Structure 1
Amino acid sequence: INLTNQWISSKMLRPFLFFITQPSSWYKGQQTKTVKSISRCFKIILNSINSMDQSKNFCSFAVGFPEERSIWLYQAKKLISLCSCILARCDHCCCKDVNMVEISTLTMRLAISLTDCKTWKNLTSENTRAADASVETLIEFIGTRQSGTYRCVRRYIKCFGPHVTPGKIDSAIAPDDQLLVTASAVTLALRPFNSTRADMGVDLTGAAKEYFTLILTIPYICKRLPPLLLPALKHISVLQPSLSILLISKDKIFEEISKLEQSEVSNVDNSTIPYCGWALGNLITLATEHDDLSNSGCFIQGLDCCLYVDAINCISQNLLKCFEESKGMLHCIDDRATNNTSITEEADTNDSCRTKTLFMDLLKPIYQQWHLRKLLILAKEDVPCDRETNHDLDQRQVKRRSLKLTDIICFYYYMLRIFSSLNPSIGPLPILNMLSFTPGFLVDLWGTLEISIFGQTGQKSQEPEHVKQLAGSSSGEQISSTRQRRNTKDTPKKWANVLHKITGKSNDADDTNLSDSLTSENSNDDALILWDIETMRQGSEGIGKDVMHMLHLFCAIYGHLLLVLDDIEFYEKQIPFTLEQQRKIASALNTFVYNSFLQNSGSGNKPLIDVTVRCLNLLYERDSRHRFCPSSLWLSPARTGRIPIAAAARAHEAAFASLVGTTSGIPTRSSVLTTVPHVYPFEER
């Protein structure tokens, strides 16, 4: 047979592509015969491409007449789809079929040859441009969903487990051939990003969406692939479009990821980590170069860190939403079928812990100081970057954007929440340790939060002199002796109140007078109003999302730091805040916590309330030991919301009595009394 390009195209490929794409050809009884037929066909095409004779080279059609180009492009697309399908069927980890191993190698050789005109032997300087145009059109097809390339590459890569050692794989394929096939598969997936048209600014929306949805969501992909191939995935030409397309089409991408997860969940053992979580970990790993031993590292060269932070924040927000919908990661295993045996449940638990460990390893750069410092430097430099907000050539828009401190705050707020959900043993300790002891970050964080709470004028305003003197002239011993004298003086009145309570009688007027007299004894009305921060009077319901994120992160970090901050640093050196700033912090948290309880904030704000209560109580304990705040500061939020003592006592008893046998929560004022009792004077409590 004279194997001309015309014969190959019309007599061989045309019927071959028709029959080979029929489902019946892959039945078990036909599979061996089909594989051999494909192998012979691919060998003929590869020999043709390597021929110097233009009449025998199949790819000469790519530079021929328009009709020949159309035929070549159609058949080349079919061949690419077939190559991808064969790649997906190849499992090198346990493949012992010699025929399947051989065809997988031929498949990748053919796919690479078709998409690289430099391998065509018949090209001349005259038809190079036409060949490039045909190849670019074929590469565009690879980036579309119709080709199925990314889905098949995903299936192939998922066959590899983490830390695969080629010498230990029970497979008929040689390690070098396995590396060749894997490298070819990665090259094929990255072709759309490295094409000539991509360098000219041609739209990569389709390829970037497919790559992000199907490749970046592969669990620990960086540990599955050989280290030799990782620089290709880390290259800015691949990573930057992936980050950009996420911000442009995040709703569609997350919807596709959710559908993908639902379709694969029955075949995936590590179901405890949502697919968007793996995308988060993979992006952080690909965007950074770090050394675990020295805790040093850097971002990859040319990375737009503002784009990186925005993309990570976007994925983190979606991941936390997934956690809330699944009632948290800790309950994920409990939601499985109840008919499993205890042995199976134990194995699932071990797999879940192992999966979480692998996932947390991907996030190591997050709690290394170099990562935060480089972001802070970029935020202070305030260098704007041009970013496209629409890939449509007719409606292309460019937005100038620079990295802000608030972006970094949101970044670590989300990471704090993620670590708390995924790391039940030590929680967010790695991040808290890093954030607490990074010089200047906590001060900058409070500076931004202070402006949001007090405004520009409130930030610069000074405290009245009598407030400073009152707060600074007392010590812990003086407070203790004052309370002791006051308790001795008011003992008869307290016993009278107890008798009124027992008899069921209420002397509201006396109680009110007692409360007023005690309040006036400690501070006047002006001082009470001074420490009742207006922006915090609505609790968690009255602040914006940005302020909520800043407040949560600040309280978590400062509460962690207060555990190790000694009195010399706090009072004498006044590190990290002056005593005046400490009073502002205490007053803001005090007002916020009290009013959050009054507003009966929902469970969605519980993490925020928990960290603010913890930080507030640590400040109050320190003030109890060595006074730095006036008593009016602690009493100010509840100055207008008090009820007579006897009535409060009866309501408290009735409320707790009604809780027996019910699932309702503790009433609001009881929560205040048990959580932040200092908002009421000691005698009233």
Structure 2
Amino acid sequence: MDDRRRNQVSLRGASAKEISRDALLQKVAQERELREYTRRATAVSIFIQRVWRGYIAVKKTAEQLHREWSALVDHPPIVITKTWISCSLLRPFLFSTTQLLIRRNKVPTSDIDCMNKCFRILLASITSSDAENNFCSLATGGPEERRIWMHQARKLLSLGLFILAECNISSGNQKIISLTSLAMRFLITLTDIKGWKCTTTNDFDDANIQVCNLIQLMGSKHSILYSYIRRFICRLDVPSSNHVINVVQADEIFVITATAITFALRPFHIDSAGQCPKSLNLQNTADLFLLYILTIPWLTKRLPAVLLPALKHESILSPCLRSLVIDKDKIFREMTEIEKADTSEAEVISPCGFAIGNIICLVVCADKNPMNLGGFTCGLNYALYVRGVTLLSQDFLRWLDKYKPSSTGNQLSISGRETSIAINTKEDETTYQLNLMYMDLLKPVYQQWHHVTLLSTLESGGYIQENASLTAEIPGNLQLLDIVYFYCSMLKILAMLNPGAGSLPILNMLSFTSGFLGSLWGTIEGFAFPDEGHYHRSNNILKSESEPSSIKKTKESSKAEGPRWANMLNKITGKPQTESGILCSTSSGTSHDQAGVSYNENWDVKPLRRGPHGIPKDISSFLHLFCASYSHLLLVLEDAEFYEKQMPFTLAQQQRITAALNTLVYNGLSRSCSQDDRPLMDSAIKCLHLLYERDSRRPFCSPELWLAPATKSRMPIAAAARTHEKSRNKLDDVFNAPGAVSVITVTPHVFPFEERVQMFREFINTDKASRLMVGEVVGPGAPSLEIEVRRSHIVEDGFKQLRSIGSRFKSSIRVSFLNDCGLPEAGLDYGGLFKEFLTDMAKAAFSPEYGLFCQTATSERLLIPSTAARSQENGIELIEFLGKIVGKALYEGILLDYSFSHVFVQKLLGRYSFLDELSALDPELYKNLMYVKHFEGDVRDLSLDFTVTEEMFGKRIIVELRPGGKDVSVTNENKLQYVHAMADYKLNRQILPMLNAFYRGLSDIISPSWLRLFNASEFNQLLSGGKHDIDVDDLKKNTRYSGGYTEGSRTIKLFWEVLTGFEPQQRCMLLKFVTSCSRAPLLGFKHLQPAFTIHKVSCDMPLWATIGGHDVDRLPSASTCYNTLKLPTYKRSSNLKAKLLYAISSNAGFELS
């Protein structure tokens, strides 16, 4: 009963549920949307049905007309009139063909024969001299006939171009090739008024107007002409050695290609020839030609060589370059769209990149002379060419930075070559080959004639134009800044894309172009030293603008006369330049004495104190190109040319160049450097390092010049050292490291030598502290490694016991000496015996008699590894061990008595070795090489080849300087290669195994980054101290007295009197007797730890002995561990001198009586 009541429904509506207002509104809205959707769906369905029905109706009509038209063509009338062609032939043909081709988007094979017949009829009609039978006579008829002719002519153009675009040569379809050839011949005749046989003198002007209108439509903004021609050319093969093609087919392909190029150039030709009664607007045509033709990959390689002169003409290139300079933003946007559509080659080179290569190849006329040196095409506008290519290059570099980030990571080495990239995959190999092909397109850029011709236009007015002049829209003549921008961009492109050689080809050319470096420096000098006199000036100094086209001339100056080099393989010649001004001494020296150097703000160049941030864009480009080119020249510039002849700059100018680069690099590293500034900083750092190395070897700058930028802003030594050590993992990328770390790593010379020595000691103290924290045992008093060595076999015993201790070499090592009887000598080692062990081992191992090292032929007798060491038993291992010994001496602050050859140290520090450094290694060989280099006769008469003869244990061994060198004679053409190959062998290859071994041992103890604080001369000074003498006054000032002695004691006064009278060698022997080292501490005796101490040894003597004039017989002794001289109380100076000399000469250690 309850269930029945629950289901009852009230007819009065009492059982209905109420609905809220919001729910009701939502329900009504949903119903409205449903009705609207239904209405729109119905409308769309009706529209689709209508379109479909229309499509089907048009298709059926087109097919029906096509069948009827095919039958008509198969049985044409006997007399073919223009009316029949227009109404009966073309009207159904164009309608049906256009409709069907649009739908199929290809040329059906079944329709090829019909199209052939149609084009033959049209071609025959046009060549008819009877106006009634000539289709083109409609162009000069009534208004309606002209309209019909123009419409049908446009349709025929579109059809012919579509056939061209669909012609795939590689498919080998002879029918489509023949059809394309016939269609292009018809189009050429149609658009050439001279090919119309029906025109008379009366109607020539009317016909010419119609042809001009048709051609103007071809070159209009929305024309399909160039896009279709691009599709055809892109399908042409790039010729290769194994490419084979049928002769007959090749002829037809050539005809098609030639007609396509002729058709593409027709708008340019009709305008330049003045055939059109009204002026044509070539802006759109030039834009399209640049976008679709000049960006075709390998355009000049795909086209037959005989067709290229047509593209090289000034009337073609100038409008395109002018359009690029005027409307670059629009051009680049549309190139981006083309890149999205073309994916075949864009992964390697963008359309913008191909435009650069194609334009460069087209502006060059390679058959100018029989030497094939090349030249520019006649009438070329140089200003447009340089600025246009520069704009394209800048956009291409942006593309490379975006899509090829790995390319920018290739850092330039000091020789200008990029690090080699391993090719591991097939894709990498393909990219490598494509990059090589692309470099062929850019080859004219790094040829001497190209650069010289551009420079010559700066004097002749900037451009050579035969038939036209620059428009008002284009800035005036070519400027030096334009050339600078051009080559800066090319340097970056080659650095990224040129496998192996990098930017070296351009640097070879720029650095040896007469006067060019002087012009660059003249502009830079005007900016950096505005208030002082100038030695060189370029033709102007230009204000920075966003693009080269907006350059304004701000200063006029005379052009400098630079040295004249023919090329890198010829002798550098010229008259030495003289310069007024104060020059620093150019006498040879081992190191600058930087103590007490005063600050000279003239060397802290004010305009460069903000680094790259404070430099205008124009000056930045000048600096980049100057530094890159000059650093390359410095690699091969002889000392005689640099110092005596003062080429290409005087020494006063070299000082200014150095000061400018020093200020720029220091401040650039101190501040954060943007990505855009890195190319400039890289080249500036490279050039500065080369100048610094040359100055270190033979000074031409004052010490204050190198210190000037950091004089007021140097960090404290301890803070700088801590920052450097905390960021050691960032040392490979100085631009991302903290500013202080970058400065210490790249420009340590801004710190005085004394501060760098303190910094070096801070590095070592930090290392010792870190090793102590991780549990390694260091320092005095800790358990030590104990060894026993015989003085007569000190090298063998030390090598045997220490060769394999690894990292424990940094720990404390205690030495016991064995006497001739094999018994331990008296005395305990608290550091002094180990110092003696190191110095004595160095003396024995570095002796030429031992065979590991030999001495240079110069008066300094510096050490360099002997080539005979490779043949000795454990020779390489012994040299590695000596590297550890030297490292241990540096680590513990122990001075050794030996200095290494500048060449050897340069290699240890990772620095470049100049050719002239060979003179310090082998003066006779250097003299002979210079004779060969400057030999004015035929070098073949000297009977030289690319080999060198070595003597090894009485045997003569011939070593080839390059593969197959014994079969290569030295000639005038390759003599410079021979000179540098020989120098490379002597300076690098010959000592490389020993160098690597020594470096391994040294770097086990001393971090290479620590040693790079110093140059080669300073390294020797760090290792062996200062001069081979001691400063008696400094020693006296820092000496302590014990045991009863005071500064006023009689014996002490006698001691200083005797020491002052000693020879320098005797003073060094005394120092070694007391401290185990014959050299004074590097920064003076105040840094000797423990301090030099003289301890009183009382000697009781009988009164009669004293009255009789007898003196003390006891000999002085020493405690080397504590740097203490135990001096008896001598009464007479003669006795003190005799006893002292005997003691320091006995080499008896602790066993003095």
TM-score by length of 1: 0.84
- In structure 2, relative to structure 1, the CA distance for the partners of 1:65 and 1:406 (3 Å cut) is same
Measured after TM superposition, the shift of residue 668 of structure 1 is 0.9
The equivalent residue for 2:838 is: none
Measured after TM superposition, the shift of residue 640 of structure 1 is 1.1
One-letter code of the match for 1:670? Answer: V
Q: How far apart in 1 are the matches of 2:240 and 2:184?
A: 21
The equivalent residue for 2:478 is: 403
- In structure 2, relative to structure 1, the CA distance for the partners of 1:166 and 1:239 (3 Å cut) is farther
| Contact kept? 2:586, 2:698, Cα under 8 Å | no
Q: How far apart in 1 are the matches of 2:462 and 2:602?
A: 40
Helix, strand or coil: the match of 1:290?
coil
- Comparing 423-432 with 140-149, which one deviates more in the overlay? 140-149
Measured after TM superposition, the shift of residue 387 of structure 1 is 6.0
> Of the candidates 498, 511, 529, which is equivalent to residue 454 of structure 1?
529
The equivalent residue for 2:747 is: 676
> Of the candidates 342, 352, 355, which is equivalent to residue 264 of structure 1?
342
- 1:238 matches 2:316: yes
Pairwise CA RMSD of aligned residues? 2.8
The equivalent residue for 1:12 is: 89
The equivalent residue for 1:560 is: 632
- 1:476 matches 2:589: yes
One-letter code of the match for 1:156? Answer: F
Q: How far apart in 2 are the matches of 1:144 and 1:345?
A: 48
Q: How far apart in 2 are the matches of 1:473 and 1:375?
A: 38
The equivalent residue for 1:105 is: 181
> Of the candidates 431, 434, 452, which is equivalent to residue 373 of structure 1?
452
Helix, strand or coil: the match of 2:689?
helix
5 Å-filtered alignment, 1:81-96, equals: 81-96=158-173
The equivalent residue for 2:359 is: 283
Q: How far apart in 1 are the matches of 2:107 and 2:377?
A: 49
- In structure 2, relative to structure 1, the CA distance for the partners of 1:53 and 1:294 (3 Å cut) is closer
| Contact kept? 1:435, 1:441, Cα under 8 Å | yes
The equivalent residue for 2:280 is: 202
Measured after TM superposition, the shift of residue 64 of structure 1 is 0.9
- 1:219 matches 2:297: yes
> Of the candidates 562, 569, 575, which is equivalent to residue 647 of structure 2?
575
| Contact kept? 2:107, 2:166, Cα under 8 Å | no
- 1:129 matches 2:200: no
Q: How far apart in 2 are the matches of 1:316 and 1:558?
A: 23
The equivalent residue for 2:215 is: 139
The equivalent residue for 2:54 is: none
One-letter code of the match for 2:745? Answer: T
Helix, strand or coil: the match of 1:684?
helix
Q: How far apart in 2 are the matches of 1:89 and 1:259?
A: 21
Measured after TM superposition, the shift of residue 652 of structure 1 is 3.6
Helix, strand or coil: the match of 2:654?
helix
Measured after TM superposition, the shift of residue 164 of structure 1 is 6.3
| Contact kept? 2:339, 2:346, Cα under 8 Å | no
Q: How far apart in 2 are the matches of 1:672 and 1:293?
A: 53
- In structure 2, relative to structure 1, the CA distance for the partners of 1:299 and 1:44 (3 Å cut) is same
Deviations 1:196-247 (A, max 9, x none): 5763753201111111100011112111111111111111111111111111
- In structure 2, relative to structure 1, the CA distance for the partners of 1:127 and 1:30 (3 Å cut) is closer
Helix, strand or coil: the match of 2:683?
helix
> Of the candidates 184, 202, 205, which is equivalent to residue 259 of structure 2?
184
> Of the candidates 418, 428, 437, which is equivalent to residue 512 of structure 2?
437
The equivalent residue for 1:54 is: 131
| Contact kept? 2:82, 2:135, Cα under 8 Å | yes
| Contact kept? 2:160, 2:184, Cα under 8 Å | yes
The equivalent residue for 1:392 is: none
Helix, strand or coil: the match of 2:129?
coil
The equivalent residue for 1:351 is: 430
Helix, strand or coil: the match of 2:342?
helix
One-letter code of the match for 1:556? Answer: A
Helix, strand or coil: the match of 1:302?
coil
Deviations 1:542-591 (A, max 9, x none): 11111111111111111111111111111111011000000000000000
Helix, strand or coil: the match of 1:122?
coil
5 Å-filtered alignment, 1:19-34, equals: 19-23=96-100, 27=104, 31-34=108-111
Deviations 1:342-368 (A, max 9, x none): xx9833223222221221111111111
One-letter code of the match for 2:177? Answer: V
Q: How far apart in 1 are the matches of 2:398 and 2:473?
A: 30
Measured after TM superposition, the shift of residue 458 of structure 1 is 4.6
The equivalent residue for 1:549 is: 621
Q: How far apart in 1 are the matches of 2:320 and 2:296?
A: 15
Measured after TM superposition, the shift of residue 163 of structure 1 is 2.3
- Comparing 668-677 with 648-657, which one deviates more in the overlay? 648-657
One-letter code of the match for 2:501? Answer: I
| Contact kept? 1:192, 1:198, Cα under 8 Å | no
- In structure 2, relative to structure 1, the CA distance for the partners of 1:449 and 1:581 (3 Å cut) is same
| Contact kept? 1:317, 1:414, Cα under 8 Å | yes
Measured after TM superposition, the shift of residue 307 of structure 1 is 1.3
Structure possessing the higher radius of gyration over alpha carbons: 2
One-letter code of the match for 1:577? Answer: F
Q: How far apart in 2 are the matches of 1:351 and 1:473?
A: 53
Q: How far apart in 1 are the matches of 2:296 and 2:100?
A: 27
5 Å-filtered alignment, 1:631-642, equals: 631-642=703-714
Q: Which has the higher helix share?
A: 1
- Comparing 406-415 with 195-204, which one deviates more in the overlay? 195-204
Measured after TM superposition, the shift of residue 175 of structure 1 is 2.7
The equivalent residue for 1:627 is: 699
Helix, strand or coil: the match of 2:347?
coil
- 1:319 matches 2:396: yes
- In structure 2, relative to structure 1, the CA distance for the partners of 1:102 and 1:212 (3 Å cut) is same
Measured after TM superposition, the shift of residue 457 of structure 1 is 3.7
Q: How far apart in 2 are the matches of 1:259 and 1:374?
A: 36
Q: How far apart in 2 are the matches of 1:382 and 1:154?
A: 37
| Contact kept? 1:329, 1:422, Cα under 8 Å | no
The equivalent residue for 2:689 is: 617
Measured after TM superposition, the shift of residue 474 of structure 1 is 4.8
- 1:150 matches 2:226: yes
Q: How far apart in 1 are the matches of 2:329 and 2:140?
A: 41
Deviations 1:128-183 (A, max 9, x none): 11111111111111112543111111111112222268992269x53322221111
Measured after TM superposition, the shift of residue 388 of structure 1 is 5.7
Which ranges in structure 2 are unaligned for 5 or more consecutive residues?
Answer: 1-76, 410-422, 537-578, 757-1153
| Contact kept? 1:541, 1:599, Cα under 8 Å | no
Helix, strand or coil: the match of 1:468?
coil
How many residues get paired? 616
Q: How far apart in 2 are the matches of 1:423 and 1:364?
A: 11
- Comparing 598-607 with 250-259, which one deviates more in the overlay? 598-607
- In structure 2, relative to structure 1, the CA distance for the partners of 1:16 and 1:388 (3 Å cut) is farther
One-letter code of the match for 1:612? Answer: A
Q: How far apart in 1 are the matches of 2:462 and 2:496?
A: 34
Q: How far apart in 2 are the matches of 1:29 and 1:220?
A: 26
Q: How far apart in 2 are the matches of 1:77 and 1:352?
A: 43
- In structure 2, relative to structure 1, the CA distance for the partners of 1:584 and 1:293 (3 Å cut) is farther
Measured after TM superposition, the shift of residue 383 of structure 1 is 4.8
One-letter code of the match for 1:77? Answer: R
Q: How far apart in 2 are the matches of 1:153 and 1:24?
A: 18
Deviations 1:22-60 (A, max 9, x none): 256764998123223322221221122122221221101
- In structure 2, relative to structure 1, the CA distance for the partners of 1:329 and 1:138 (3 Å cut) is farther
Measured after TM superposition, the shift of residue 94 of structure 1 is 3.0
The equivalent residue for 1:496 is: none
